[in-house]
Homo-oligomer: A and B are copies of this chain.
Amino acid sequence: MRTTTENGELALLLEVSGTPKPGNVDRHREYDDLRFEHFVTGAVCAREGLQLAADGTAVGEAFRRAVAGMSQQSGGNTQFGALLVVTPLVRAAVADELTPAGTRTILEETTVEDAAKFYEAFEYVDVAVDDPPDGMEPLDVRRGADAVPTLRAQEITLEDLMERSADRDGVAAELVNGYPRTFEAAAAMLDGTGPVTDRAARAYLDLLADEVDTFVVTKHDRETAEKVRQRAQAVRDGEEDVDTFADDLVERGINPGTTADIVAGALFVALERGLEV
């Protein structure tokens, strides 16, 4: 039997091993400066943080350590979002509550300290984010640990932060809403057939076709993200070739990263529920 920590790391590795995953690094497509090997290394070195989560360390600190580990490679940000998805799931799994309600409880129990550690995690890598709304500059995540005094003064928890971002960040939306898309994708993987990496690629395409990827909205704009969603739907419906789509997104530097993050979470849930590798 694999441990929960092993399943956490394995989920990250299987996510990047799924191909084709249009727009993201996978085992057949990479960028010159962001390569498959960077994701592999990121996953290996994130494991210590996931182990902390499995051993009972609070979500924020476990996440911070996972990101610190992940950053031990030269590609930059590889799995920040995936770790934000997976870390609370690991906590829920070891509490034997890997359910929508169980993940809600994990979020509800987060504290100001978890929020502080979340901000500190931004110190390790550059994460593409939007400018904060007017008046929220003191809480710009890019301030990293400098924002912590404001967090403490305002008694903002990690759950509060996620709720504030949920309308524009698909990862935050999963966390505060009991991971609806993650659990649905996990169920589809468990019902599916064939190699796990093929199931991961299918889950990615389904998720991409169903909702706009908020990371693409952030890095580009909503129109671009909506077009990507429509093309993913066309691929799913057999109207567009997946490799053409994939090559085009890589060429234009469009990376539906939020969708990949959710696939990592779905893989973790499926592995915990007995998906055979």
Contacts and interface: CB of A to CB of B under 8 A. Distances in A.
Interface stretch (A37-45, A219-227, A238-246, A251-259): A37-45
Contacts of A45: 2, 6
A74 B37 contact: no
State the main secondary structure of chain A at its contact with B.
helix
Contacts of A73: 277
B37 A277 contact: yes
Contact of A2 (B72, B195, B277): B72
A13 interface: yes
Interface string A26-55: 011000000111101100110100000000
B17 A27 contact: yes
Contacts of A41: 2, 10, 277
A273 B275 CA distance: 37
B197 A36 contact: yes
A17 B195 CA distance: 17
A267 to B, nearest CB: 11
A40 B2 CA distance: 13
A40 B14 contact: yes
Interface centre among A35, A38, A41, A72, by most chain B C-beta atoms within 10 angstroms, is A41
A37 B17 contact: yes
Contacts of A38: 277
Contacts of A196: 37
A136 interface: no
A45 B7 CA distance: 9
Given A73-B277, A74-B277, A17 B40 contact: yes
16 contacts: A1-B72, A2-B44, A6-B44, A10-B41, A13-B40, A13-B44, A14-B37, A14-B40, A17-B36, A27-B27, A27-B28, A35-B197, A37-B195, A37-B196, A37-B197, A74-B276
